[in-house]
Amino acid sequence: MQDNFLANSAELTHLDDHSQAQMVDVSAKMPTIREAVAVAKVRMLPETFAAIQAGNAPKGDVLATARLAGIMAAKQTATLIPLCHPLPLQKITVEITPVPQLPGYQIQSTVKTKAETGVEMEALTAVSVAALTLYDMAKALEKSIQIESIQLVSKTGGKSGDYSSPG
């Protein structure tokens, strides 16, 4: 299997001629408008959900802090993910919506840029860090909070075209 992998490595854009990881050269690409949307779900006990909704968490405003952390994280994606390009981000939103039937929250991020490469990783990083921050802010109430279903919902722009997740 390793031989087959190396034989096909010329087709893999993140590997150099010696099969070493490399950052893709996007300098010849024209900047285009690109947008990505990602979501995550955070599940918790009904009592924890009620406390957060009532603003009774020991560390303060859980949702505002998580939202801000997600925005900040999107801007730091290139320092967190080794082969990501630093991008000029023109729009970052993080919305945290209560979902009583979970119980918990859905976190959605939309990231937009005009650049040579896409912003999928920035949107995914935003929801991931927002979810982790929500956990951190509420862990005094409950240690068993679950972060789940982190996924790319859609992306527009770029050579690979538009994408929308099924369902």
The answer to whether 1 is annotated as binding is no
- pLDDT for res 152: 98
- C-beta of residue 86 within 8 angstroms of C-beta of residue 119: no
- 121 assigned to a ligand binding site: yes
Return contacts of 97-100, CB within 8 angstroms, 24+ apart: 98/49, 98/53, 99/41, 100/49
Active site residue 17: no
Indicate yes or no: pTM above 0.85.
Answer: yes
- Residue 11 inside a domain? The answer is no
Q: With respect to residue 15, please indicate whether it lies within any of the assigned structural domains.
A: no
- Ligand-binding site membership of 83 (annotated): yes
Count of residues in the chain: 167
Containing structural domain, residue 97: 32-162
The answer to whether residue 24 sits within a structural domain is: no
- Residue 27: the pLDDT is 76
Amino acid 13: pLDDT: 65
62 part of a folded domain: yes
| Residue 6 belongs to a domain | no
Residue 47 has φ and ψ, to the nearest 5°, of: -65, -40
**pLDDT at position 5, please?**
43
User: Would you tell me the crossing angle of helices 120-138 and 46-54 to the nearest 10 degrees?
Assistant: 100
Give the count of domains, the chain. Answer: 1
Low-confidence ranges of the chain (pLDDT < 70): 1-16
CATH number of 44's domain: 3.30.70.640
Residue 164 CA to residue 112 CA, distance in Å, equals 16
- Among the listed residues 3, 16, 17, 136, the single catalytic one is 136
